[in-house]
Amino acid sequence: MNVRTVLFVLLAVVLWGCKTTQEVEGDVAVEDQGIPAGEAAEAYAAGQEGRAGVSPLDDPNSPLAVRVIYFEFDSSEILPEYRKTVEAHAAYLAANSNVIVTLEGHADERGSREYNLALGERRSQSVQRQMSLLGASPGQIRTVSYGEERPAVNGHDESAWSRNRRVEILY
């Protein structure tokens, strides 16, 4: 599947999702009496059948629930197994232009600290680039690198290192 086909499919899914959303919005207005009249409810595009009243960000079954992307050693390439995750977040951002996400880039501890700071940034920019290609607007995405300074796992072997080479998606 080439990029254009992917985009077309995504667009179709998003548009279809929008139709579904209008129905969901109606349900939300009926069930949630707490919202005062005149206050705009948040429109959630689920890109799939959304359950009434549940934000896709809180849905544990949604691909949006995946908030960490892992990388190979010395690489900033997004592995195939994370494409779906990136797509889902990009779609969410594309449909919710007021939402801002921070991509935090990290590296494992090996080698020099400053070079690892740059590696972490390269990883977060890699995810940022993919998301932009998939419809998120640049203003919605912030990137920051912590290099090796914020390990997720303390340890000095590949099992720890592989879990520290990551980008965290933070809403």
Partner 1 sequence: MPRKNPFPILALLASLLAAGPAAAIEIIIDRGVKDPIPVAIVPFGWSQASSLPPMDLAAVITNDLARSGRFAAMDEPDLPQRPADFQDINFRDWRLLGMENLVIGRLNLTDTGDYVVDFRLVDVYKERQIAGFRIPTSEEQLRRTAHEISDIIYEKLIGVRGAFATRIVYITVNEKKDGTKKYTLQIADADGYNPQILLESTEPLLSPSWSPDGRKLAYVSFEGKNSAVYIQDILTGKREKIASNPGINSAPAWSPDGNSLALTLSKDGNPEIYILNLASRQFRRLTQSEAIDTEPAWANDGRTLAFTSDRGGGPQIYEVSVNGGQPRRLSFSGAYNARPRYSPDGRYLAVVNGEGGAYRIALLEWETGRMTVLTTSRLDESPSFAPNGHMIIYTTTGARGTALAAISTDGTVQQRLALQEGEVREPAWGPFLSR
Query: Measured from the CB atom, is 23 or 158 closer to partner 1?
Result: 158
Query: Measured from the CB atom, is 33 or 154 closer to partner 1?
Result: 154
Please count the CA atoms within 13 angstroms of the CA of 54 that sit on its side-chain side. Answer: 14
Q: Least CB distance from residue 144 to partner 1, whole Å?
A: 5
Q: Least CB distance from residue 63 to partner 1, whole Å?
A: 27
Query: Measured from the CB atom, is 10 or 117 closer to partner 1?
Result: 117
Backbone dihedral region of 77: left (phi > 0), alpha (psi from -120 to 50 degrees) or beta?
beta
d(CA 104, CA 144) in angstroms, rounded, equals: 5
Which chain residues interact with partner 1 by CB under 8 A? 74, 109-115, 117-119, 121-122, 143-146, 149-150, 154, 156
Query: Measured from the CB atom, is 88 or 119 closer to partner 1?
Result: 119
Helices 83-95 and 3-31, interaxial angle, to 10°? 50
Sign for the pseudo-dihedral over CA of 159, 86, 62, 138:
positive
Q: Least CB distance from residue 133 to partner 1, whole Å?
A: 17
